[in-house]
Amino acid sequence: MKNKQFNGMARRTFLRMSSLFALATALPAQVRAMATRPTSVFEATGVEAVFSQLGATPTRSEGIIFSVPDIAENGAVVPVKIEIDASILPDVSKLYVLVEKNPNPLAAVFGVPKTTRPYIETRVKVAQTCELYAVAEAGGQFFMTSKETKVTLGGCGG
């Protein structure tokens, strides 16, 4: 019985590895670069730690249009939208969403191929009133903008 289970596991692992290999060889270089999860950036605690994992503190840029609510009634579902003004920031390849006071500030990274508009909408959890950051990566350089969201759930008034 044990042996049978082991065989099942090994086969599954093998299938997973071979399918990953097929995927890695089939994708174009730009996408393959994104395929690796930036684990250390996700595990960083504190915004500064995230920036040091990225390798640079982003420069503030007017080219990032970042929409978050001023007041979030429910911190568990906070809508965020990032748009890039390509006339100011061309060639954006990645977009990051950071929530300053979450245990791990990095919430999401989006890899944007050339035919995709550098535009993203999603919803994130915000533990408490704090600054939210939108970071854009273009040609190896980092740019950012930030906005505060007040979290009022619990009626404490943020």
Partner 1 sequence: MASRIRIRAQLKGGECEVKALMRHPMETGLRKDQLGETIPARFIETVTVTHNENIVLEAHWGAAVSANPFLGMQFEGGSVDDIVKVSWRDNQGETGEGETRIRQG
Binding site for partner 1 (CB under 8 A): 27, 31, 34-35, 37-38, 42, 76-79, 81, 99, 102-104, 106-113, 115-117, 119-125
The least distance separating partner 1 from the CB of residue 61, rounded to whole angstroms, comes to: 21
- Which residues are within 8 A (CB) of 86 and not within 5 positions of it... i.e. 6 or more apart? 63, 92, 118
* Closer CB to partner 1, 111 or 158, in the complex: 111
Dihedral (Cα; 53, 79, 62, 59), 10-degree rounding: -10
What are 36's two structure tokens? 């690796």
The least distance separating partner 1 from the CB of residue 60, rounded to whole angstroms, comes to: 23
Count Cβ atoms below 10 Å from residue 53 Cβ, excluding itself. 15
Closest CA to 142 of 41, 50, 84, 57: 57
Q: How far is 147 from 132, CA to CA, in rounded Å?
A: 5
Q: How far is 12 from 157, CA to CA, in rounded Å?
A: 51
The least distance separating partner 1 from the CB of residue 34, rounded to whole angstroms, comes to: 5
* Closer CB to partner 1, 68 or 112, in the complex: 112
The least distance separating partner 1 from the CB of residue 111, rounded to whole angstroms, comes to: 4
* Closer CB to partner 1, 37 or 59, in the complex: 37
The least distance separating partner 1 from the CB of residue 128, rounded to whole angstroms, comes to: 13
* Closer CB to partner 1, 12 or 59, in the complex: 12
* Closer CB to partner 1, 6 or 113, in the complex: 113
- The size of the chain, in residues, is 158
Contact in structure between 66 and 136 (CB atoms under 8 Å)? no
